[in-house]
């Protein structure tokens, strides 16, 4: 008896599944219309999801670009600061190595030296 019950249940389910297909052209057209509406809804859903993904991608790209710009600004600022410090060190080193002393203090000129220089220049 249980096998007969299973068979009858399967036949009923099969008949219900088959009855889902329309028999008339009108029924087929209505089903096609319904399938078209479902396809349009699916397409709209896919498009909306794609647009959301695109917005997220653009937002992420903008954020990444902002971060890269900030990094570049920071690096440029550091490079300028380093260059300024290097220049200041070089200027200071030049000041230390090329301090010009007053020649009269290092080699005091006597009156006889001045007279000798004057006479030698007049002879030429």
Question: How is the chain split into domains, by residue range?
Answer: 27-98
| CA–CA gap between residue 110 and residue 119 (Å, rounded) | 14
Query: Per-residue pLDDT for 119 more than 70?
Result: no
Is 62:71 a contact under the CB 8 Å cutoff?
no
pLDDT digits (tens, 9 = 90+) for 22-77: 789 999 999 999 999 999 999 999 999 999 999 999 999 999 999 999 999 999 99
User: Residue 30 contacts by C-beta under 8 Å, 6 or more apart in sequence?
Assistant: 22
Give 2 or 64, the one with higher predicted confidence: 64
**Percentage of the chain modeled with pLDDT above 70:** 63
**Percentage of the chain modeled with pLDDT above 90:** 58
The model's pTM: 0.45
Query: Mean pLDDT for the chain?
Result: 82
């Amino acid at each position: 008896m249980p096998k007969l019950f299973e068979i009858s249940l399967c036949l009923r389910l099969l008949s219900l599944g088959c009855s889902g297909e329309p028999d008339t052209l009108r029924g087929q057209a209505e089903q096609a219309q319904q399938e078209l509406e479902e396809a349009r809804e699916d397409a709209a859903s896919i498009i909306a999801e794609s647009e959301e993904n695109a917005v997220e991608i653009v937002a992420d790209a903008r954020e990444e670009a902002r971060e890269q710009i900030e990094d570049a600004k920071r690096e440029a600022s550091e490079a300028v600061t380093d260059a300024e410090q290097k220049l200041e060190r070089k200027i200071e080193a030049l000041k230390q190595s090329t301090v010009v002393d007053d020649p009269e203090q290092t080699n005091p000129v006597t009156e006889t030296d001045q007279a000798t220089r004057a006479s030698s220049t007049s002879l030429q």
